[in-house]
Amino acid sequence: MIFQTYNFSQVEVVLIDTQVSNLRLVRSVLDRMGIKKVHPFLNMSGVMESVVASVPDLLLIDADDAEGEALKFVRWLRTDINSPNPFMCVIATTWQPTTTLFNRVTNSGVDDLLVSSISSKQIILDRVNSLIYERRKFIVTADYIGPDRRKTAREETPSVPMLDAPNILQMKVTGQWKRLAEREQIASAMVWVNTQKTIRDAIQIAILVEFAAPGLLQTPPERQTFDHLLRILGFIEDLQRRLVGHPKEESISINCKNIQTLIEQMCSTQVQSVAESNLDQIKTLILNLMCTLSPDRSPEDLSSEVANFVAAYRIRLAQQVSDKAAQLVVEPFQPFPVKR
């Protein structure tokens, strides 16, 4: 594909790079592509205000800042219900492509990672081209919203819902962009994301209770299990924020508050014993919550998903403990032979 055949004149970019020379270089490349609306920043100060005000089509962001503010911003952009466009195209740049940084970038919701030491002109052209015509679909989990993080197709998990996210960058370079169409597509996609996120929140709440249950029923309960319960409060808060306009908003909200009350009571007192009947009450409320948010799935199906996830997670934890123990095995000391 030849980029000169596309009209980039309407494309708007926010560019953040802590290196002045790299900032100038990338801006020059964007200019040669025909992108004239570029908002450059040397740090994250003022970036949120600029993004909210202009709602750019492409965000080029430096992932090497010491405080990690850039990736926190991308996560906010993807997950916050007040984000101006959670589906904005985002490319992160780095001079230090370590495994740790790669994982942080991937989990933030970035579309792509660009190593700054590589020839900027061709790479930027290639990456933008990929975003226009080969952009990965979006997925929603309990703790992630963004492009599918797997490199291979999800053939083994076909039930995972995926979204062709609104691609305003593509609409603009191909001459299909209209402001009203942009707003309608983003609004429609946001409804889908909120629906999926509330479902995943409810399932994650069930998983946390199921995982904590054995420890809660001990006498006295394992203290760590209360930490799992406290995590539930964050998912309830997120779920309730996303309920606005839901046809069963009131009943779901009441259910959430009942779950929240039981969890808070249990965690605030750090009780010496947890009655199995109280745990069953919480599980029943959560199952009702999942069924209300996923009316197309049976209670048995939802319960099975939760149980299977917890079982698989316990196996992974046991394997991690086993691997760590194996690494601690010290070989018997073999003295060096004494030369005589």
pLDDT digits (tens, 9 = 90+) for 98-142: 999 999 999 999 999 988 766 566 788 888 989 998 999 999 999
Mean pLDDT of all residues in 133-157: 83
Q: Per-residue confidence at 212, pLDDT binned at 50, 70, 90?
A: very high
Ranked by mean pLDDT, the top range of 97-101, 116-120, 290-294, 330-334 is: 290-294
What are the tens digits of pLDDT across the range 48-83? 999 999 999 999 999 988 788 999 999 999 999 999
Q: Per-residue confidence at 317, pLDDT binned at 50, 70, 90?
A: very high
pLDDT in the model for residue 116: 76
Res. 306: pLDDT tops 80: yes
pLDDT in the model for residue 120: 65
112 contact partners, CB below 8 Å, separation of at least 6: 90, 91, 92, 127, 130, 131
Mean pLDDT of all residues in 168-197: 95
Q: 101 or 275: whose pLDDT is higher?
A: 101
Q: 118 or 251: whose pLDDT is higher?
A: 251
Mean pLDDT of all residues in 15-28: 90
**What does the alpha-carbon distance between residue 223 and residue 219 come to, in Å, rounded to a whole number?**
11
Q: 36 or 116: whose pLDDT is higher?
A: 36
87 contact partners, CB below 8 Å, separation of at least 6: 138, 165, 166, 167, 168, 186, 189
Res. 300: pLDDT tops 50: yes
pTM higher than 0.85 for the full model?
yes
The overall average pLDDT reported for the chain is 89
Closest CA to 206 of 103, 291, 131, 286: 286
**What does the alpha-carbon distance between residue 211 and residue 310 come to, in Å, rounded to a whole number?**
6
CB 200 within 8 A of CB 289: no
pLDDT in the model for residue 223: 87
